[in-house]
Amino acid sequence: MKRALIIAPQWIGDAVMTEPLLRRLSARGEQLTVGALPWVAPVYRAMPQVAEVIELPFAHGGLQWRERLSLARQMRGRFDVAYVCPNSLKSALLPFLAGIRKRVGYLGEARFGLLTQHLKNPAKGQRPPMVALYSALSGDADVVADRPQLQLSAHEVDATLRDLTLTRMGYHVFAPGAEFGDAKRWPATHFATLAEQLDLPVVLLGSGKEAALCAAIADPANVRRPGQCINLAGKTTLAQALGVISACRSMVSNDSGLMHVAAGLGVHQVAIFGSSSPLHTPPLNALAKVLWLKLDPAYQPALDCAPCFARACPLGHTRCLNDILPSRVRALLAEACREG
C-alpha cells in the first residue's frame, strides 16, 4: 500500500474542497495522512478516508526552520508520496526535507526544485473550479468537480447539541462572516431582517473576530423578537460548528469556509456571492441555492464590475450584496428546503 502525505491548505473552505482528491487517492489504495494547521484539522477528521491527521506546529509568517526540520526528521521513511495542495514555498518544504521521493504540486512560489512532479497553474481566466483543480493533483485524466463529502458520527453531533442546548432540525444557521473582507459579506441589517422572518430560531456561527458582526445581527433581531437569535460566534470549536451545521434545518452564508462545510455535509443552504464567483468556488451540494446578481438578467444596471475579488468595493457601493433583499433570500431558502 502506498503511503501518502497530503499537505493541506490553510483555509477551511479550501480544506473541504480537497476531499474529492483524498477520496480518489484512497479509492486507488493509498493510505492517507494529512498534515494540517490546527484550525483546519477538524475538517479532515470528518473525512473517513483519512487514516491520520498531523497538526502542523506552524504559525503565519516566517519559515520556522527549527520546527520544520524537527518534524521532517520524524517523517523520514514514513511516506512514499506527498501531495502539496497550497502553492506557497513553505508548504513544499516539509515533504522535501523529509526526503519523500515523489512530491506532487502546482508550480508556485519559487519552488521548482522542491517538487518532483509539477502541474502548471492555469491562467486566471481559465481556472477550473477549485475542487477540480485540487483533484488534478491525483494525476487522473477524468477529473471533474465532484461534491465534497464530510461525515460526522451521530454520537459527536448529539454531544455537541447537548452541550449547546440545541435540538436537531430545530434551528437555522447563519454564517455572516467572510475572512477575505466586507465585499463578500451580505449586510448585517439584511441578516437581522431575515432572522426575524424565519419560523425557527437562528444560530449565528463565526470566529471570535466575527462576534461583533454576529451581535449586530442578533441584538436588534432579539429586541424585536426575543430569543430568536443565539450568538455562538467565538464560543464554539470548529468541530462543534460542524456538528451544529450538520443538524440544522437550513443555513444562509456568504462565500466562506462554513459555506463549503455546509455543502460537504449536504444541508439545505443559500449561498450569497458578491465580489467572488460561484463559477470558481461554488457550494457543490444538490440542496444548495446560489444568489449572485451578476447572473441575474433582470437586475439593472448590470454588474459589469463583478467579480472583482476585492476585499472592499472599489466603487464604494457594494451593490452586488446590498441589493439582495432579505425577502429574496427567504423565498430561495424555502425553495431549497421544499426540494430537499
Give residue limits of the domains in the chain.
3-138, 154-339
Three-state SS letters, the chain: CCEEEEECCCCHHHHHHCHHHHHHHHHCCCEEEEEECCCCHHHHHCCCCEEEEEECCCCCCCCCHHHHHHHHHHHCCCCCEEEECCCCHHHHHHHHHCCCCEEEEECCCCCHHHCCEEECCCCHHHCCCHHHHHHHHHCCCCCCCCCCCCCCCHHHHHHHHHHHCCCCCCCEEEECCCCCCHHHCCCHHHHHHHHHHCCCCEEECCCHHHHHHHHHHHHHHHHHCCCCEEECCCCCCHHHHHHHHHCCCEEEEECCHHHHHHHHHCCCEEEECCCCCCCCCCCCCCCEEEECHHHCCCCCCCCCCCCCCCCCCCCCCCHHHHCCCHHHHHHHHHHHHHHC
Between 299 and 179, residue with greater pLDDT: 299
Q: What would the pLDDT profile of 90-132 be if each residue is shown by its tens digit?
A: 999 999 999 999 999 998 777 888 999 999 888 777 778 899 9
Domain 154-339 classification at class level = alpha beta
pLDDT 10s digits, 265-295? 999 999 999 999 999 899 999 999 999 999 9
Q: Give per-residue pLDDT as tens, 184-220.
A: 999 999 999 999 999 999 999 999 999 999 999 999 9
Residues above pLDDT 90, as percent of the chain: 86
Fold held by 3-138: Rossmann fold (3.40.50)
User: Is 154-339 the same fold as 3-138?
Assistant: yes
In this predicted structure, which of 58-67, 150-159, 177-186 has the lowest mean pLDDT? 58-67
pLDDT per residue as tens digits for the range 243-259: 999 999 999 999 999 99
pLDDT attached to residue 340: 62
